[in-house]
Amino acid sequence: MEAFTGAAMAAVHHHAKPMKNVSGKFVLMCADESKLPLRARPGAQLVSKLSSLARNGAMRGLATVFVLKVAVIVSSFALIVLAARVFDVEQFGLFSILFSAAGLFSIVATVGQQITIMRLWNEYVAARDTATLKGALQFSALLVVAGSAIVAAGFFAWAYWSYSAGIAVAVTLYVVALSAVQVTNHLVRTAISVPAGDGVGTLSCVVPGLLFLTWAMVTGHRPELATLFLVFAASAFAALAVHLVLMWRLVHRLLPDFAAATARYDVPTWKARSFKLWLSNGLEAANQYLDVLLIGFLMSPAAAGAYFVTVRLANAFAAAADTVHMFATRHIPELYFHKKFGELSNLLNIVAGVTLLIVVGGLVVMIPAGQLLLSVFNEAYAENYPALVVQCIGTAAVAAAGSCGSILMFTGHEGRFLAIVALTVFVRIVSFCIFIPSFGLMGAVWATALSFILMAVLLRQSAVSLTGMDGSVVRLLSRNVLQRTPPLSA
């Protein structure tokens, strides 16, 4: 018996290759599965592997983030439903335009610091370079303040000229607060956790507005748009304060010499990197918000409101897939800069698998129930069901691209990411101008869906060719997706 066991183990060692697990110890991964004993083949071990995944820290962390994201999605959905019910069609269309404009310009005001600050934090913490980290944080803070001031001045002038002084003040304050929270969300996410970052930042910005609209509906009060945006702004400033306190405590605990360190700067490198990411993030935001503004300009505020509802519904399951993106961006830069490439590959396997489940599940739920969901906002929107189906296909494609965009940005290929986003935005704007005059809202939806599909294809192709890493669901076609997974936290 011992001879047989020894022979079997020798066979396993002969056809296996060493791989480090997360504790730094080596484990054996089989190079030729067909030569393993029957009881060791992956097919016979599937149940135990799935059970192991369920107990894995990465899956538990992902489940935590998923619950958080569901809370955000439900809150955001309820906010928009209540806004559609409290305001009339024209007012809701105006709300859609202002809300989209605030989202777009708040991202422009960050000057690309959301991703930049995550990369700088992980790069310099991994190198234990306190002086350069201090300079990098000061550089990012200065850019955000300057960017917010410049954007706020232009935004206030546009809103004052287009609407009223009250709306201009309220929405501009919201833009400034939201731009700062966008950056601290990302920093706290990677430095502490997703719940501390996106949980505090997003829910704090949504829930007070939701409560305000609930009060308005229950009491029959017809609120002013300016009042609603003041509630949004106050909530965002409160979230920002919480984030700053959390980071102050973490920095002084993690880096006791931070206060005494003399800041060191690498401005040329940071400036070039920030500029590319600023353009990328701005164009990516255009993918989310510019459509509503263009439709409001090319058609009417009421049409913009209808498109806004259609896009928000189609993005519901894509937002669920964004849960996985948040979890991935929490860990991708850390694993990459610490050169833990085996763990990074395993993380991408988990991300791809969960993303596929979300995309398929979202389509299965959204397409049959779409007409009913549209009528929840307003009965008049139910006729846009065909547009919702097309939009769902486009958002499903982008969601399926998974972490490919993050891989490009965190590995120094932000220029390629910028080129892809710029191309797809250009294609969509041109398509809008061509199709909307002839096909109306349906033409806009087809233009959006096709640009999303184009983006997904280009992101995956670029990530694979430039980095050798596939962050999309296509990686699941690999035979090695059931590898050991890292115990990552949320």
Q: Is residue 43 in some structural domain? A: no
What domain range includes position 213? 74-265
Nearest residue to 410 (alpha-carbon basis) of 452, 488, 466: 466
Residues of the chain with pLDDT > 90: what percent? 23
pLDDT digits (tens, 9 = 90+) for 362-377: 888 888 888 888 888 7
- Tokens 């694979």, located at residue: 464
Shared domain for 437 and 318, answered yes or no, is yes
Residue 39 lies in a domain: no
pLDDT one-digit tens code per residue, 408-448: 887 878 788 888 988 988 888 888 888 888 888 888 889 88
State the distance between the two ends of the chain, measured CA to CA, in whole angstroms. 46
In the prediction, which pLDDT does 58 show?
A: 58
Residues 184 and 243 in one domain: yes
For residue 149, name the pLDDT band (cuts at 50, 70, 90). Answer: very high
Q: Which one has a higher pLDDT value, 204 or 53?
A: 204
Are residues 131 and 213 both part of a single domain? yes
Contact 310, 388 (CB under 8 A): yes
Spatial distance between the Cα atoms of 239 and 250, rounded to a whole number of angstroms:
17
The whole-number pLDDT of residue 22 equals 36
Percent composition of the chain: helix, strand, coil (DSSP 3-state, to 5): 80, 0, 15
Beta bridge partners of 19: 27
Q: Does residue 336 sit in the same domain as residue 476?
A: yes
**What's the CA gap between 329 and 291, in Å, rounded?**
26
Tell me what the mean pLDDT of segment 264-283 comes to: 82
Tell me if 434 is assigned to some domain: yes
| pLDDT of 249 over the 80 cut | yes
∠36-37-39 over CA atoms, to 5°? 120
447 and 307 assigned to the same domain: yes
Outline where DSSP puts E strands in 68-203: none
Within a domain: residue 293?
Answer: no
307 part of a folded domain: yes
Helix (H) or strand (E) holding 217: helix 200-219
d(CA 336, CA 332): 6
Percent of the residues in the chain that have a pLDDT greater than 70, as a whole number: 81
Q: What is the pLDDT of residues 13-36, one digit of tens each?
A: 444 444 444 333 333 333 343 444
Output b/e per residue, 315-350; b: 16+ Cβ within 10 A: bbbbbbbbbbbbbbbbbbbbbbbeebebbbbbbbbb
> Which of 250, 265, 280 is a domain's end point?
265
Is the CB of residue 409 less than 8 Å from the CB of residue 115?
A: yes
Q: Which of 239, 265, 291 corresponds to the end of one domain? A: 265
Structural domain total, the chain:
3
For 225-232, what is the mean pLDDT?
Answer: 94
* Contact present, 460 and 401 (Cβ < 8 Å): yes
In a domain, 285, yes or no: no
Same domain, 322 and 248: no
| pLDDT bucket at 307, cuts 50 / 70 / 90 | confident
Comparison of pLDDT for 311 and 62, the residue scoring more: 311
Tens digits of residue pLDDT in 169-228: 999 999 999 999 999 998 998 888 878 888 888 888 889 999 999 999 888 888 889 999
Among 23-32, 276-285, 385-394, which stretch is predicted with the lowest mean pLDDT?
23-32
According to DSSP, residue 263 is labeled P
Q: Which residues contact 6 (CB under 8 A, 6 or more apart)?
A: none
In-domain check, residue 63: no
Say if residue 314 is in the same domain as residue 446: yes
Q: Which residues pair with 20 in a beta bridge?
A: 26
Counted residue by residue, the chain has a size of 490
- Co-location of 104 and 149 in the same domain: yes
3-class secondary structure, 417? helix
* Residue 149 sits in the same domain as residue 5: no
Supply 106's token pair: 């708040």
Residue that the structure tokens 């009913």 belong to: 372
The predicted structure's pLDDT at residue 462: 93
The tokens of 192 are what?
Answer: 């502490």
Same domain flag for 219 and 319: no
222 and 332 co-located in one domain: no
In a domain? residue 290? no
At residue 165, the pLDDT reads: 92
Each residue's pLDDT tens digit, 62-116: 677 777 777 887 888 889 889 988 888 888 888 988 998 898 899 889 988 888 8
- Whole-angstrom distance, CA of residue 444 vs CA of residue 338: 44
Residue tagged 């019910």 (tokens): 85
- Kindly state whether residues 15 and 99 are assigned to the same domain: no
Residue 262: burial class (beta carbons within 10 Å; 0-12, 13-18, 19+): exposed
Out of 265, 287, 312, a domain closes at 265
